[in-house]
Amino acid sequence: MQEIASPVPSRQSVWNTAGLRQSEQFAYYREAVCQAFMKLTPEPMAETGFSASVQNIRLGDAALNRVSFPAHVVRRSAADIAASDRSCFYLNLKLAGRCRIRQDDREISLSPGQVGIFGSDRQFALLHDRRPQLQVASFWVPAEALRERLPASFDVTAARVSDDPFVGHLITETARTLSDGALRMTEDEGVHLLRALIELVAMSLSRQSRARTAEAESLTDATTLALKRAIHRRLREAGLAVADIAEAVGISERYVHKLLARSGSGFTDYVIERRLDGIARDLGDPAMANRAIGAIAFDWGFSDLSHFTRRFKQRFGCRPRDWRAR
């Protein structure tokens, strides 16, 4: 694809659909976007004509892409991801118009002056609003440049980082300063300012991570408590199954297993151990002295007495009748 000749520094590339036949403009733009960013799938909203320009400015291993275009959609498909050999994050400063970013089960919107982040390793859709011309400054940041500044387990999802009450305004102003002045700076100066921008974004995401972790742990603890209470209420039911408890609590069977594993137990073992605890209490209760051990075991949901005896001895170190004799 031919770039437009321009007396600009070698670290800049420019594509413009002006001067092309209308029937060729969108295909030219699509190829420019793939070269400036990475493999993407733009989709036009109009049948003919697409007045757009792409300005790519190298910033070390990263890049700034200033793009002007009419309304359209840009997708990152599974095939696009498979065809890419690098991972990155996009930091988008909206300059004109509005864009909705859909990724996973999230949707964020960007209006002029707002900054959003999303990654290249997951499918996404950028829905650029219906206006004659829209503009965005998009920073292409290698994934490792941001991940090395974040907690190891942190999962970056689409987010509007300019909303951060502490550093959001700094993120916006730093992005705007770099977007406006990238070519007036040396490349080293631009790289240093981009690093400052990445540090601010990492700081914002790390704060969100701590808040989300605390919230998630609180919710997990509450759900685990509800799960165990549901099991305790139905311990005496023979044939009690994971599906019964999952339905009672309103969570998936897989999540039941995950929560109990977090507590160091599996579902079957947890149920059996709680039943054995109940049987042990009954065997020590004088009011139950005349009730047969087998009948007590059946009351607590056991249907196989030999299995019950074996598990009781494993848990308490003696047979049920010896426990009662004590």
Reported as a single tens digit per residue, the pLDDT across 74-126 is 999 999 999 998 999 999 999 999 999 999 988 999 999 999 999 999 999 99
Q: Is 99 within a domain?
A: yes
What's the average model confidence in pLDDT over 20-44?
95
Rounded Cα gap, residues 83 and 81, in angstroms: 5
Same domain flag for 81 and 144 = yes
Q: Which residues contact 133 (CB under 8 A, 6 or more apart)?
A: 51, 68, 69, 70, 96, 97
- Structure tokens belonging to residue 21: 């036949």
- Structure tokens belonging to residue 108: 């964020």
CATH number at residue 79: 2.60.120.10
Render pLDDT for 196-242 as a digit per residue (tens, 0 to 9).
999 999 989 887 755 555 555 666 777 888 899 899 999 999 899 99
User: How crowded is residue 230: how many other Cβ atoms within 10 Å of its Cβ?
Assistant: 17
> In this predicted structure, what is the pLDDT of residue 2?
45
Same domain flag for 206 and 260 = no
Render pLDDT for 37-76 as a digit per residue (tens, 0 to 9).
999 999 998 777 899 999 999 999 999 999 999 999 999 9
Lookup result for tokens 């499918």: 123
CATH number at residue 302: 1.10.10.60
- pLDDT band for position 28 (cuts 50, 70, 90): very high
Q: Is 84 helix (H, G, I), strand (E, B) or coil?
A: coil
Domain end, chosen from 214, 248, 275, is at 214
Same domain flag for 40 and 153 = yes
Residue type, 75: R
Of 321, 322, 325, 326, which Cα lies nearest the Cα of 293?
321
> In this predicted structure, what is the pLDDT of residue 210?
58
Same domain flag for 156 and 260 = no
Q: Is 1 within a domain?
A: no
Same domain flag for 30 and 148 = yes
- pLDDT band for position 8 (cuts 50, 70, 90): very low
Residue 325: Cβ-neighbour burial (10 angstroms; 0-12, 13-18, 19+)? exposed
pLDDT for residue 3 is more than 70: no
Same domain flag for 244 and 205 = no
Lookup result for tokens 């800049």: 12
> In this predicted structure, what is the pLDDT of residue 45?
85
Of 17, 88, 27, which Cα lies nearest the Cα of 54?
17
pLDDT for residue 4 is more than 80: no
User: How crowded is residue 221: how many other Cβ atoms within 10 Å of its Cβ?
Assistant: 12
Residue type, 58: R
Rounded Cα gap, residues 150 and 146, in angstroms: 7
Same domain flag for 53 and 192 = yes
Q: What is the DSSP letter of 24?
A: H
Q: Specify whether the CB–CB gap between 74 and 30 falls below 8 A.
A: no
- pLDDT band for position 5 (cuts 50, 70, 90): very low
Q: Is 222 within a domain?
A: no
Same domain flag for 110 and 189 = yes
Same domain flag for 63 and 201 = yes
What per-residue string of b and e applies to 169-196 under the rule 16 or more CB within 10 Å gives b? Answer: ebbbebbeebbeebeebeeeebeebbbe
Q: Is 89 within a domain?
A: yes
Same domain flag for 266 and 155 = no
Lookup result for tokens 């305004």: 169
Q: What range does the domain containing 188 cover?
A: 12-214
Q: Is 318 within a domain?
A: yes
Render pLDDT for 240-249 as a digit per residue (tens, 0 to 9).
999 999 998 8
Question: pTM surpassing 0.75?
Answer: no
Q: Is 269 within a domain?
A: yes
Question: What is the number of domains present in the chain?
Answer: 2
